[in-house]
Structure 1
Amino acid sequence: MELRQLEHFVAVAEDCHFTRAAKRLHIAQSGLSASIRSLERELGAPLFLRSTRQVRLTPEGQALLTEARKTLSASDAAKDAVAAVRGLLRGTLAIGSLQCLHAIHVPALLAGFLRSHPGLEVSLRHGGSGHLTDLVRSGHLDIAFVGRPRHAPEEVVLVALDNEPLVLACALDHRFASCDEVKPQDLAEERFVDFTSDWGTRDLADQVLAEAGVERRVALEASDVHSLLDLVSYGLGVALVPQSFTVKTDRVRFLPLAGDVPRWQTVAVAADPVGAAAAALLREIAAVRRPTPASCCS
């Protein structure tokens, strides 16, 4: 089994089409088909279900896809490690991040990092913590900045970035707006605004309220910070959010939570083993540290 065959297999699996995959790989379709057939003979199993309309993975192909991505990722990491020893950081670095990250200012971080490593090609995508962690696990991302997962996959490593308390966000005319702090138990009758279920802050809010014996009702869901705070400002619900959100608007009242409440933790999730480019980025983070909260996603 050759790395080239695995590259061909992953391309067909992602495109679900031999012609498109061949075009992306810049090889003849006949050569791609021959490479896949050779791989199937070696493994003694069909990897794709082929028809005139579509190409789908077999169960054997599904099993191979995860391992093929890991193998290709490890191969890239080995090449990067050799290049790093020579002082040449090249190749690609795929990064994921929450939309608003208090721990680090991602644009400033990447600008400085790319100035130091101009031969590196960097890509960035936003998403929820669960989805981004899964993309690191499956080899689609090299590193992601997310909320700490409750159960981290074995295939990744976690590097702590920061932690901060949760606070209650409510409208300026809400009954809690004049309070100094709020007990989680007092939120039992409230209607909630929150992020979609893939966001780590929602998991933490669920945990905090469950420990307080509150069965909450999420009436409205948002996929970005400013939309969530807008909904809160109009009295459509309250929200539990990280303290760093307090710099984003003056149309919402933010209140501390009383008692010993779990804190919102952000981490870097990296593929295991950590590639040379991802390791260099983590060193850059350690050296730079974060800016003030007001400069984050404001």
Structure 2
Amino acid sequence: MELRHLQHFVAVAEDQHFTRAAERLMVSQSGLSASIRALERELRAPLFVRTTRRVTLTEAGRALLVEAERILAQVRAAHEAVAAVQGVLRGTLALGTEQCIAGVHVARLLAAFRREHPDVEIRLRQAGSGALAEEVAAGRLDLAFAYRTRADGDQLRSVSLTSEPMTVLCHPRHRLAATGTLLCPDDLAGEVFVDFHPDWGPRRATDTAFAAAGVRRTVALEVNDVHTLLDLVDENLGIAVVPRHFRHKRPTLTALPLKGAGEAEYETVALLPHEHSTSPAARALLALLEAEGLAPYRSS
């Protein structure tokens, strides 16, 4: 099995189109088709269902895609490791992050990384913690800043960066604001909630806290960005349970501590593959993070 066949296969799977994949790879469409046919003959299985508009993966193709991406990531890491030994850091840093992650100023960190390693191409993807964990495990990302989840597990290791309690945000005229006291999940039963999609770290932390307290809640207003969440709370359309640092983004809102949710319910981590698969670029970014004063203090 040739690496170029795997590279061609992954490109077609990503673009779902032979012509677009051929243009991106700068190869002829006939050559790309021949490469895919050779791979299908070797594996004795069709990898794509072809139509006039697009191509989709077969079950065998989906199984191969996971392994092909992992193999290509390891090959890339090998090239970058050799370059690093020679004193030059090259290649690509593929980083994932949730929005407004605690403890890391992502833009400032990447700017410092570019100054230190100008020959490394930086790629950034923003998504929920669950999706980011899957992409690091599959080799599509070198590392990700995310919320620690139980799914970190066998294929990932995590470096703990910071932790903080969860906080209730509400409008100053909301009935909860007048209490000015600690709240527990029972106090919030029946409230209208604004929250993120279930894949996001803050949503996972809140769902876990309420499940542990045996309190059911319904998210009526579901969003995928921090500013919309804050706007909805600011209009008194609902309350939100978020990591404590969110309160600084909208000082006009009332912030109330949530008890019964643990002292460190929301933990930010750097998710990485196992040590032998971690790219030199990812190691360099973590070293820079430590040098900037955010020392990774625990790895698991």
TM over 0.5: yes
- Superposed, which structure 2 residues align to 1:2-81 within 5 Å? 2-81=2-81
| Comparing 137-146 and 59-68, the one that deviates more | 137-146
* Paired AA for residue 209 in structure 1: F
Q: Distance in 2 between matches of 1:279 and 1:125?
A: 18
- 1:129–1:113 Cα change, 3 Å: same
**Contact between 1:163 and 1:263, CA under 8 Å: does it hold in 2?**
yes
Separation in structure 2 between the aligned mates of residue 195 and residue 139 of structure 1, nearest angstrom: 26
Matching residue's letter, 1:269: L
CA separation in 2, counterparts of 1:87 and 1:156?
28
Match of 2:273 in 1: 271
CA distance in 2, matches of 1:51, 1:200: 38
Task: Give the equivalent residue in structure 2 for 1:293.
Answer: none
RMSD between aligned residues = 1.6
Following superposition, the deviation at residue 17 of structure 1 comes to 1.8
Conserved? CA contact 2:192–2:218, under 8 Å: yes
Structure 2: distance between partners of 1:24 and 1:260: 49
After superposition, where does 1:1-298 map in structure 2 within 5 Å? 1-178=1-178, 179-259=180-260, 261=262, 263-272=265-274, 273-290=277-294
- TM-score normalised per structure 2: 0.92
Q: Deviations over 1:69-102 (max 9, x none)?
A: 0000000001111111111111111111111022
Cα deviation, residue 251, structure 1: 1.8
Q: Which deviations, in whole Å up to 9, do the C-alpha atoms of 1:256-297 show, x marking residues without a partner?
A: 12346252011111233111111111111111135xxxxxxx
Question: For the residues of structure 2 that align with 1:161 and 1:127, how far apart are their CA atoms?
Answer: 19
Q: Secondary structure at the match of 1:151?
A: helix
Secondary structure at 2:69's aligned position in 1? Answer: helix
* Cα distance in structure 2, aligned partners of 1:237 and 1:53: 44
Q: Secondary structure at the match of 2:238?
A: coil
Task: Please list the CA deviations of residues 95-126 of structure 1 after superposition, one character each: whole Å capped at 9, or x if unmatched.
Answer: 11111022110111011111110100001121
Structure-2 change in CA distance of 1:176 and 1:150 (3 Å) = same
Letter of the 1:256 counterpart: P
Q: Structure 1 counterpart of 2:213, which letter?
A: A
Contact 1:137 1:153 in 2 (8 A): no
Q: Who is 1:296 aligned against? A: none
Return closer, same or farther for 1:258/1:63 CA change in 2, 3 Å cut-off. Answer: closer
Cα distance in 2 for partners of 1:203, 1:77 equals: 32
Unmatched runs of 5 consecutive residues or more in structure 2: 295-300
TM-score relative to the length of structure 1: 0.92
Q: How far did residue 65 of structure 1 move?
A: 0.7
Query: Which residues of structure 1 form unaligned runs of 5+?
Result: 291-298
**Following TM superposition, by how much is the alpha carbon of 1:131 offset from its aligned partner in structure 2, in angstroms?**
1.8
1:146 is displaced (CA, Å) by 0.8
Q: 1:57 to 1:110 in 2, by over 3 A?
A: same
Count of equivalent residues: 290
Residues 165 and 261 in structure 2, CA contact (< 8 A), matched pair in contact too: no
Following the alignment from structure 2 to structure 1, what is the Cα–Cα distance between the partners of residues 72 and 153? Answer: 19
Partner SS, residue 250 of structure 1:
coil
* Percent of paired sites with the same residue: 52
In 2, are the aligned partners of 1:114 and 1:120 still within 8 Å (CA)? yes
**1:184-220 superposed Cα distances (whole Å, 9 cap, x missing partner):** 2211121111111211111111111122221112111
Instruction: Measure the CA separation in 1 of the matches of 2:106 and 2:234.
Output: 27
The whole-number CA distance in structure 2 between the counterparts of 1:168 and 1:260 is 11
